[in-house]
């Protein structure tokens, strides 16, 4: 199911930080819980979208990972932690990295900029621990699953979303 189909107050025009899930950022508490299961003793790579618009100097000379469709990311190396502020970014709001991975590439956490979902890929022991953690709302997704507003297969589309088709 998707938030737009189950939240009667939501009309697709904007989100309330007090009620609606964030887009493009995972809350620090949820990220901390996920990172508990992601093994590494070394620094990890954090990729933060360069287009958030609050960069004082586009990341202060940090490496740039070119992405597809305007999704360029600034790269940071730091210890594994739920980091929510970044060098060169004006602290308008807490912002998680959009991608996080260890040096051995054994797992990856991905929070899409325009969606309210975070995807985790990794060994089955990591993903199963996350699925079993009661602090997290999690479920398995398959390659072909639709995470867009139109992907809700349980609830009917709200009028505002049907009108966009």
Does residue 14 lie in a domain region? no
Does residue 11 lie in a domain region? no
Among 10-14, 34-38, 138-142, 157-161, the range of highest mean pLDDT: 34-38
Does residue 59 lie in a domain region? yes
Does residue 162 lie in a domain region? yes
d(CA 147, CA 40): 29
Contacts 24+ apart (CB under 8 A), 144-153: 147/2, 147/112, 147/115, 147/117, 148/2, 148/115, 149/2, 149/4, 149/5, 149/12, 151/2, 152/1, 152/2, 152/4, 152/5, 152/6, 153/1
Task: Determine the average pLDDT of the residues in 118-125.
Answer: 96
Which of 122, 111, 101 has the alpha carbon at shortest distance from 49?
111
d(CA 92, CA 72): 20
Q: How many domains does the chain have?
A: 1
Does residue 111 lie in a domain region? yes
Tokens of 105: 């590439």
Whether the CB-CB separation of 6 and 93 falls below 8 Å is answered with no
pLDDT surpassing 70 at residue 15: no
pLDDT for 8: 80
pLDDT surpassing 80 at residue 17: no
User: What sign has the CA pseudo-torsion 117, 133, 143, 47?
Assistant: positive
Does residue 4 lie in a domain region? no
Reported as a pLDDT band with limits 50, 70 and 90, residue 135 is very high
Give the model confidence (pLDDT) of 36-93 as tens digits: 999 999 999 999 998 887 776 655 667 888 887 778 999 999 999 999 999 888 767 7
Contacts 24+ apart (CB under 8 A), 28-31: 28/82, 28/84, 28/94, 28/96, 29/82, 29/135, 30/118, 30/135, 30/136, 31/82, 31/96, 31/109
Domain of 105, in residue numbers = 20-165
d(CA 62, CA 46): 11
pLDDT surpassing 90 at residue 163: no
């Amino acid at each position: 199911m998707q938030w737009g189909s189950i939240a009667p107050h939501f009309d697709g025009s904007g989100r309330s930080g007090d009620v609606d899930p964030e887009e493009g950022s995972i809350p620090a508490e949820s990220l901390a819980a996920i990172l508990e299961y992601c093994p590494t003793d070394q620094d990890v790579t954090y990729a933060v979208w360069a287009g958030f618009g609050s960069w004082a100097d586009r990341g202060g000379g940090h490496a740039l990972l070119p992405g597809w469709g305007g999704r360029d990311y600034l790269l940071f190396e730091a210890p594994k932690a739920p980091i929510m502020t970044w060098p060169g970014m004006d602290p308008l709001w807490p912002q998680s990295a959009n991608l996080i991975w260890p040096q051995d590439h054994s797992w990856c956490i991905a929070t899409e900029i325009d969606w309210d979902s975070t995807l985790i890929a990794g060994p089955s022991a990591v993903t199963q621990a996350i699925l079993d953690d009661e602090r997290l709302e999690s479920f398995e997704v398959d390659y072909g699953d639709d995470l867009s507003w139109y992907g809700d297969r349980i609830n009917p589309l709200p009028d505002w979303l049907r009108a966009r088709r």
